[in-house]
C-alpha cells in the first residue's frame, strides 16, 4: 500500500511540477467552455424559434433545453477526450523506460501491479480534475432552468465520461508500456482509440457479428449515460475493458525483464 501510494504521489507530482498539466487543463477548459456556450445559445435560439412558430400555429412544442444541451455537451466531451488522453498517457511508461528509471522501480520492493495501478489512478485523477470545472457550467444551467432537470442526468453523464476516459487511459498506458518512444506511443494510442470508437459502425454488418462488434465499441455504451441511464451491461463493459488493459500492462511490464534491455 505504501509503495502504491508512493508511485501515485510521484506521478501526481510529475504532472503538476511540469507545465503540461496546466496547459492541458487550460486548453481543455477553454474548448469545453466555448462549445458549451455555443450549444446553449444554439438550443435556446432553436427553442425560441419553435416557441414563435408555436404561437403562430398554436400548440407550442415542449423543448427540453437543459437536456439537449447536456447531451450535446457530453457528446463533445467524448470527442475532446479522444484527442486529449493520448497526450496524457504517452509518456507514462515510455519516459520511464527511456530515462532508465524503470530499472529503479523494477529493482525496488514494488510489485508490477502496484506500479501499474499507481500510474493508472494518477492519470485518472488528473483526468477527473480536468473535468471537474466543466461541471460548474452544467450546474449553473440546471439551477437556472425551470423545471430543474433531475440531478441523475448530470451524475450519470459524468459517470459515463469517467468510465470512457478511464477505459481510454487504461488502453493508452498499455500502449505506452510497449515502446520507449513517446511520439510512437501517442500515435498508436490515437489509432487504437479511433479503432475502438468506430467499432460502432459495425452495426452495418449482418446479424450476430454486427451486434457483437457493436457491443465492443467503446462509444456505444456511452450514449445511455448521456441520457441519464446507467445500464449494468455498460458498467460491466467499461470495468472489464479497464481491468483487461491494466492486466495487459502488468504483463507487458513484467515481460521487460525477459527482453534484452
| Interface of this chain with another protein, residues 241 to 260, rule: CB under 8 A | 257-258, 260
Encoded one letter per residue, x for contact with another protein by CB under 8 A and - for no contact, window 90-129 reads ---------xxxxxxxxxxxxx------------------
- Distance from C-alpha of 196 to C-alpha of 221, rounded to nearest angstrom: 12
Least distance between another protein and beta carbon 257 (Å) = 5
Neighbours of 190 (CB within 10 A): 18
Least distance between another protein and beta carbon 106 (Å) = 6
Contacts of 77 (CB under 8 A, 6+ apart): 32, 131, 134, 161
Least distance between another protein and beta carbon 92 (Å) = 13
Asked if 123 and 169 count as a contact pair (C-beta separation under 8 A), the reply is yes
Which lies closer to another protein via its Cβ, residue 82 or residue 256? Answer: 256
- Distance from C-alpha of 118 to C-alpha of 10, rounded to nearest angstrom: 9
Place of cell 455555443: 38
| Interface of this chain with another protein, residues 11 to 40, rule: CB under 8 A | 13-14, 17-18
Would you call 71 helix, strand, or coil by DSSP?
A: helix
Which lies closer to another protein via its Cβ, residue 5 or residue 38? Answer: 5
Residues engaged in binding another protein (CB under 8 A): 2-3, 5-7, 9-10, 13-14, 17-18, 99-111, 257-258, 260-261
Amino acid at each position: 500500500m505504501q509503495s502504491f501510494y508512493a508511485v501515485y504521489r510521484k506521478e501526481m507530482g510529475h504532472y503538476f511540477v511540469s507545465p503540461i498539466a496546466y496547459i492541458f487543463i487550460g486548453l481543455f477548459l477553454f474548448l469545453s467552455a466555448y462549445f458549451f456556450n455555443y450549444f446553449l445559445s444554439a438550443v435556446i435560439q432553436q427553442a425560441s424559434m419553435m416557441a414563435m412558430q408555436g404561437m403562430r400555429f398554436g400548440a407550442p412544442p415542449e423543448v427540453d433545453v437543459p437536456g439537449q444541451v447536456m447531451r450535446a455537451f457530453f457528446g463533445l466531451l467524448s470527442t475532446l477526450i479522444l484527442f486529449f488522453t493520448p497526450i496524457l498517457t504517452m509518456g507514462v511508461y515510455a519516459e520511464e523506460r527511456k530515462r532508465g528509471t524503470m530499472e529503479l522501480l523494477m529493482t525496488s520492493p514494488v510489485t508490477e501491479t502496484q506500479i501499474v495501478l499507481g500510474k493508472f489512478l494518477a492519470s485518472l485523477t488528473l483526468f477527473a480534475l480536468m473535468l471537474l470545472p466543466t461541471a460548474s457550467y452544467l450546474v449553473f444551467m440546471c439551477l437556472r432552468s425551470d423545471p430543474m432537470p433531475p440531478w441523475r442526468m448530470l451524475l450519470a453523464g459524468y459517470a459515463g465520461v469517467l468510465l470512457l476516459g478511464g477505459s481510454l487511459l487504461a488502453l493508452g498506458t498499455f500502449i505506452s508500456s510497449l515502446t520507449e518512444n513517446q511520439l510512437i506511443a501517442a500515435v498508436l494510442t490515437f489509432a487504437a482509440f479511433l479503432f475502438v470508437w468506430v467499432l460502432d459502425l459495425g452495426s452495418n454488418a449482418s446479424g450476430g457479428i454486427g451486434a457483437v462488434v457493436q457491443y465492443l465499441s467503446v462509444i456505444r455504451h456511452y450514449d445511455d449515460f448521456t441520457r441519464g441511464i446507467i445500464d449494468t451491461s455498460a458498467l460491466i463493459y467499461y470495468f472489464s475493458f479497464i481491468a483487461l488493459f491494466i492486466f495487459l500492462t502488468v504483463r507487458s511490464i513484467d515481460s521487460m525483464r525477459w527482453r534484452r534491455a
